[in-house]
A and B are shown apart, each in its own frame.
Chain A
């Protein structure tokens, strides 16, 4: 059965999840995975949906989602078919990279590019912007990453070695401890 993704964003208020999932339930769509959080006062959601046997009426589902979004005064909602997930299940992160420094455009891009060039997979990324009274904003980012086969922590450190100087940030790397039971 094809899978769909729903994503939405809008000013946070009670009832967004209830309204969106009401529409999904009416169409017999199952929420298989989801992540919802508040970003700078906006509620955001990303859902992976499994469709029922016999498929769905995509046009009417989209229309009803858009109607719900209109009532909730959301900024955007979308429904899209999604391709197959990567074979072999989710990638397990092995390290946490913490990056922090004075906020300016380009930090995420520089770090992500360095990681991509080293074939390092980002499995989770969170950022915070903390404002100070004097207007100096601290930008902090924590990434969970999975290293390609054969790559060591030393290689990861080398891949990110030029970031602190180029971006004026601090970078620290630590291995995720895993208890083998």
Chain B
């Protein structure tokens, strides 16, 4: 992966994430870029108690993971569904920053969950692949468009009036 290519993909990922309020992470394959780049920022999220701020990681891999916890996840690429997914609670990641420097990230809880979700995308694994039961653990989302900012609240209320 050329440094310039990584930077361009990272900028695109960041813009796309910022354009969707509530979106806390994206991986390059979600925007059609077949490279191992992810962006995560949980600092503005109510569950993001522990946060490194905006993380842009190249070639991230899980060096250490322990614990397990089930929590609800959604995904911009599967906007109509959410699911209960079991993931490690504490992780240490080994990655490279945009500046080419090796970077280690130790985190836990929601931020760890988001990073693991995005790393899964790099391997073609979706959160639906990780649910125990498609009938019990997957849920249809009603107001994703509003929640994600895909449409403005104004356009929603207009639609309703008609």
Contact = CB atoms under 8 A, between A and B. Distances in A.
Interface in A85-128: 96, 98, 100-101, 126, 128
B108 A172 contact: yes
B73 interface: no
B64 A100 contact: yes
A138 B63 contact: yes
B94 A130 contact: yes
A128 B104 CA distance: 13
A27 to B, nearest CB: 36
B80 interface: no
Contact of B63 (A96, A140, A174): A140
Contacts of B107: 172
A136 B63 CA distance: 13
B104 A101 contact: yes
Q: What DSSP secondary structure best describes chain A's contact surface?
A: strand
A142 interface: yes
B66 A126 contact: yes
Nearest to A127: B64
Contacts of A174: 50, 90, 108-109
Interface in B84-121: 90, 92, 94, 102, 104, 106-109
A130 B139 CA distance: 38
A98 B94 contact: no
Interface string B46-58: 0000100000000
Contact of B94 (A96, A126, A132, A142): A132
B149 to A, nearest CB: 31
Interface string B118-157: 0000000000000000000000000000000000000000
Contact of B90 (A98, A101, A170): A98
Contacts of B104: 100-101, 138, 140, 170
A136 B103 CA distance: 11
A136 B95 CA distance: 12
A14 to B, nearest CB: 26
Query: 8 shortest A-B CB distances, which residue pairs?
Result: A140-B64, A140-B92, A130-B63, A128-B64, A98-B106, A100-B92, A100-B106, A174-B108
Interface of A: 96, 98, 100-101, 126, 128, 130, 132, 136, 138, 140, 142, 170, 172, 174
Given A130-B63, A140-B104, 6 more contacts: A96-B67, A96-B90, A98-B92, A140-B64, A172-B50, A172-B108
